[in-house]
Structure 1
Amino acid sequence: MQLSLGNMLPSFWEGVPLQNLLLLSAIVLILAHYLQSRRQHPNYPPNPPRLPILGNFFQMDLKNPQANILKLAKKYGNVFCLYLGNLNLMVVTGLPLIKEVLLNQDQVFIDRPQIPVHFHVFKRFGLFMSNGPAWKHQRRFALMTLRNFGLGKKTLEDRIREEAMYLTEAIREEKGQPFDPHYEINNAVSNIICSITFGHRFEYHDSQFRELLKTLEDIMMLETKWQCQFFNLFPGIMKHLPGTHQKLFRKWKKVESFVEYVIKQHKEDLNPEEPRDFIDAYLKELSKDNIHSSFTEKNLVFCTLDLFIAGTETTSTTLRWGMLFMALYPEIQDKIQAEIDRVIGQTRQPTIADKENLPYTNAAVHEVQRMGDIIPFNAPRMSVVDTTVAGYHVPKGAMMMTNLTALHRDPKEWATPETFNPEHFLENGQFKKKESFVPFSIGKRACLGEQLARTELFLFFTSLLQKFTFQAPPNTQLSLDFQISMAVSPLPYKICAIPREI
């Protein structure tokens, strides 16, 4: 008869003196630390001193990891290592090394690591967590389908411009009074990817959809809590214990169930000859004979979920930073509005073709992304074979993080790195691209929605500045303080959107 772990442990430790137990635990930890050190390659990157088993966990600042990593990079160099339980994390800093990892060795660092808290939910499904042939097939299909449904075409621009009208009307209803723009912005941005994936948009007063967006926000915040981080260290133990991680998994299940329900509705009225959106296109693909084995209904759920989350959170967060920066830098807001008035006026809706004639506005959008710094370490990569970076040994399976915060705040690259300054992206009054600006990453696993996000950011931002002047509420001091979730977002704030005179 097999005994459970819960039955065995009490009987095993019964009668063991506390001092003996503590001594045995210390010996085990020291031995584990010694064996771990012995396995380390002699040409390994430098690392801070670490504890047995836990590694550098308690040296990580979960509230401000950017400052924490910048400090470590100054001390240990442009390539250093951190240990978080069984996770072997390497960090590279500086454009040459970022290009080395993401471009020159793109086939070596092509995979995503299996971070336990993510793997528990997604397994190897979807666009973000998948690797190998499955990832290639799913990404290729997603890109093709996004293009078929408007990516890079006039039809998608029309959808964004239409949504910008709904958004400006919703904000106009606030009548210049203080309000939190979070959910209006979130809803508007999400409606674009929803129209592509689900085939329709959601009204701003739709309580069920607002609840879904709130659940997504909760997920982003919960992942940073210490119990979820401890799950990454000890998944086999933590999955049996109560805590924030269990709440996180329940909320993921809630969002997954929403997508499953939408797919069920699509199956009921599917016309394979006229697919309406990404879900229809995927269901049509499933009906074919010689498709890759990764095309399953489970993968449809998680690919849809990936598109929905990626198409909502990052762009929405960037726009909320943009409104905040405008209120904090009124002289820059005035320059943007003067340019918009001169080129477009206050009645005609902005188009993507206007971007070329709005260099200052375009530069301001890029500066919002630089200063917002919403994905400070990029999405992680994993080495598929042993390799070297900057002369250091990188073992197969090491997790690689690229330090975008340091790149986007490098005083060698930016005249005023800690100040909001659109002039960073201007030369002789014209917009200028910067090689050291990579908010969407680079290489084969760069953000597949980059073109969509760039279009949304420009059209939404320009439309908002055309119609409103953003100000702090009376007797209120706005702050650039932030909170860490899956993205770096401003703390909740209220703002006044003053309608501009026509």
Structure 2
Amino acid sequence: MALLTLFLSYPAFVGLLCALVFFVSYFATGSGKSALKWPPGPKPLPIIGNLHLLDIKRQDKSLLKFAKEYGPVFTLHFGFQKTVVLTGYEAVRDALVNFTDEFVDRPPIPIFEEIQHGNGVFFSTGELWRTTRRFTMASMRNLGVGKKFLEEQITEELGFLIESIKAFEGEPFGLRTFTMAPTNITFAMLFGERFDYKDPVFLTLLKLIDEVMCLLGSPLLHLFNFYPFLGFFFNDHKLLLQKVEEVRVIIRDYVKASKRDAQANGLRSYTDALVFKQQEDTSKKETLFHDDNLIASILDLVMAGTETTATTLQWAVLLMMKYPSIQEKVQEEIGAVVDLGGWASYEDRKKLPYTNAVIHEIQRFITLLPHVPRYTTVDTHFRGYFIPKGTTVIPSLTSVLLDPHHWATPHEFNPGHFLDAEGRFVQKEAFVPYSLGRRNCMGESLAKTELFLFFAGLLQRFTFQPPPGVAISDIDLSVPKTTFTLRPQPQLTCAVSRE
């Protein structure tokens, strides 16, 4: 309606703009047969490009349909933006691994430009990205990622989550309850302390993260990214920026406290590590670790570092409700390996092939993060096509995780995808929920450890069932809630104690 109002207000201007865009689109890019040999794709319409052909809530599924017609490399027009899409394991891996330097940058997405202004670790580029990512990876290792200490911390947090679930005494409760434990692990790493589940700061951060993630999936937010010059017509991006600023206020308080106390308390958190680094660089005329980059880097990890594992755990419980025979088989396997009253360790995954396969299949099946766009750093010749410098590229992870050439039943939940004929666990090359190449997920090691320990521990203590009056057939997995990630629709579960 906002776009229609604008068009009616300026008919002569819009008519001229439509004619110009149509002329340029038709003769320069439409057929894919120009001298530059762009990848093929559907003919764009003036102003809207190919937006009329996309399911704005499930863009990833729309891309799969285009791939059947145009092949694994094709061109789409998102409004005025010309974008190259890569689908299927071979094309995506080729780009992100064999052409990693050419496809390593992020495009200037309007909403993230407004939020981070080129800072942080996820949407930054060039030397600032390389330096910040390298520092963040080193800091995470120093804080225990990949070490026994962190596994003990996760197991301790699992105990708090289990006590929280026991308090429901078998009555229905929301899947969002499972977000608290993995979120607390991230917060402990970022701020140096875990929160009580009733702590007002913790609850405020949970609420703000949830609101931000939901707004990032809003159709109006997508329209803002396609047509940022029409931002004054939309409100979602303004509300999003307001919510992000509320998170920044909390982060600034932690940074301020770290600057005041870090020397006395030592390095206990990622925030402390950033502050130490900034203080080391005080003698330099220019440092990449200025306050704006500190806040942006922490903000990136607050958002992405909590959303992905927390949402995957919700899906895991929902899928066990949907497939009780699989849940029972996992419980039997864990019971045969782990001592009564003890916890499964991360090392135990080698003795629990079926449990490990189920966790991997959960991640494959849910296609949590369909894609995060890239940006060509130089003019690139790729698979017979020319992609100019500064082109937005979408490597579709959904298309890899559902690639029929690599998965026997790609659209079914089937742990057998990760098992051989003898029931041994098999790692698959097309399992890429954390992406590939130098822009892969920095928290992959932490996420794998968390998912295994939380999932195994929860199924050791509980059997998850639908609430009374809800049949297994009523559990619908086909229409996820589109936020920054693909979340399950809000649903209830009952946790029946196995003790």
Aligning the two structures, in what range does the TM-score lie when normalised by the shorter sequence?
Answer: over 0.9
Q: What residue is the counterpart of 1:123 in the other structure?
A: 117
Q: What residue is the counterpart of 1:151 in the other structure?
A: 145
Task: Tell me the CA shift for residue 35 of structure 1.
Answer: 2.6
* Matches of 2:82 and 2:116, distance apart in 1: 21
* Matches of 1:26 and 1:465, distance apart in 2: 62
Q: Which amino acid is 1:450 matched to?
A: E
Does residue 388 (structure 1) correspond to residue 388 (structure 2)? The answer is no
* Matches of 2:404 and 2:8, distance apart in 1: 54
Q: Which amino acid is 1:484 matched to?
A: T
Q: Which amino acid is 1:135 matched to?
A: W
State whether residues 408 and 437 of structure 1, in contact with CA within 8 Å, keep that contact through their aligned partners in structure 2.
yes
Task: Tell me the CA shift for residue 242 of structure 1.
Answer: 4.8
State whether residues 64 and 484 of structure 1, in contact with CA within 8 Å, keep that contact through their aligned partners in structure 2.
yes
Q: Which amino acid is 1:251 matched to?
A: K
State whether residues 346 and 467 of structure 1, in contact with CA within 8 Å, keep that contact through their aligned partners in structure 2.
no
* Matches of 1:104 and 1:93, distance apart in 2: 15
Q: What residue is the counterpart of 1:430 in the other structure?
A: 424
> Cα deviations across residues 149-185 of structure 1 (Å, max 9, x unaligned)?
1011111111101001111111111111111031x32
**Among the aligned pairs, what percent are the same residue?**
39
Distance 1:69 1:19, change over 3 A: closer
State how 1:341-360 maps to structure 2 within 5 Å. Answer: 341-360=335-354
Q: What residue is the counterpart of 2:267 in the other structure?
A: 275
Distance 1:20 1:479, change over 3 A: closer
Q: What residue is the counterpart of 2:497 in the other structure?
A: 499
**Moved >3 Å (runs of 4+):** 18-24, 36-42, 289-292
* Matches of 1:85 and 1:423, distance apart in 2: 41
* Matches of 1:315 and 1:367, distance apart in 2: 15
- TM-score in terms of structure 2 length: 0.93
State whether residues 383 and 395 of structure 1, in contact with CA within 8 Å, keep that contact through their aligned partners in structure 2.
yes
Q: Which amino acid is 1:22 matched to?
A: P
Give the secondary-structure state (helix, strand or coil) at the position aligned to 1:192. Answer: helix
Q: What residue is the counterpart of 1:340 in the other structure?
A: 334
* Matches of 1:325 and 1:233, distance apart in 2: 35
Q: What residue is the counterpart of 1:134 in the other structure?
A: 128
Q: What residue is the counterpart of 2:179 in the other structure?
A: 186
Q: What residue is the counterpart of 1:449 in the other structure?
A: 443
Q: What residue is the counterpart of 1:60 in the other structure?
A: 54
Q: What residue is the counterpart of 2:461 in the other structure?
A: 467
Q: What residue is the counterpart of 2:17 in the other structure?
A: 28
Query: Structure 2, unaligned stretches of length 5 or more?
Result: 1-6, 30-34
Aligned length: 481
Give the secondary-structure state (helix, strand or coil) at the position aligned to 1:187. Answer: helix
* Matches of 1:393 and 1:206, distance apart in 2: 54
Q: What residue is the counterpart of 2:361 in the other structure?
A: 367
Q: Which amino acid is 1:247 matched to?
A: L
State whether residues 89 and 403 of structure 2, in contact with CA within 8 Å, keep that contact through their aligned partners in structure 1.
no
* Matches of 2:122 and 2:10, distance apart in 1: 43
> Cα deviations across residues 366-404 of structure 1 (Å, max 9, x unaligned)?
010011110122x21110111122211111111111122
Bigger Cα displacement from structure 2, 389-398 vs 159-168: 389-398
* Matches of 1:399 and 1:384, distance apart in 2: 10
Give the secondary-structure state (helix, strand or coil) at the position aligned to 2:439. Answer: coil
Q: What residue is the counterpart of 1:223 in the other structure?
A: 216
Give the secondary-structure state (helix, strand or coil) at the position aligned to 1:374. Answer: coil
* Matches of 2:215 and 2:456, distance apart in 1: 33
Q: What residue is the counterpart of 1:307 in the other structure?
A: 301
Task: Tell me the CA shift for residue 39 of structure 1.
Answer: 4.3
- TM-score in terms of structure 1 length: 0.92
Task: Tell me the CA shift for residue 20 of structure 1.
Answer: 12
> Cα deviations across residues 292-341 of structure 1 (Å, max 9, x unaligned)?
72111111111111112222100011111000010110110111000010
Q: What residue is the counterpart of 1:284 in the other structure?
A: 276
Distance 1:301 1:20, change over 3 A: closer
Q: Which amino acid is 1:493 matched to?
A: Q
Q: What residue is the counterpart of 1:262 in the other structure?
A: 254
* Matches of 1:482 and 1:217, distance apart in 2: 15
Q: What residue is the counterpart of 1:479 in the other structure?
A: 476
Give the secondary-structure state (helix, strand or coil) at the position aligned to 2:481. Answer: strand
Task: Tell me the CA shift for residue 32 of structure 1.
Answer: 2.5
Task: Tell me the CA shift for residue 273 of structure 1.
Answer: 7.4
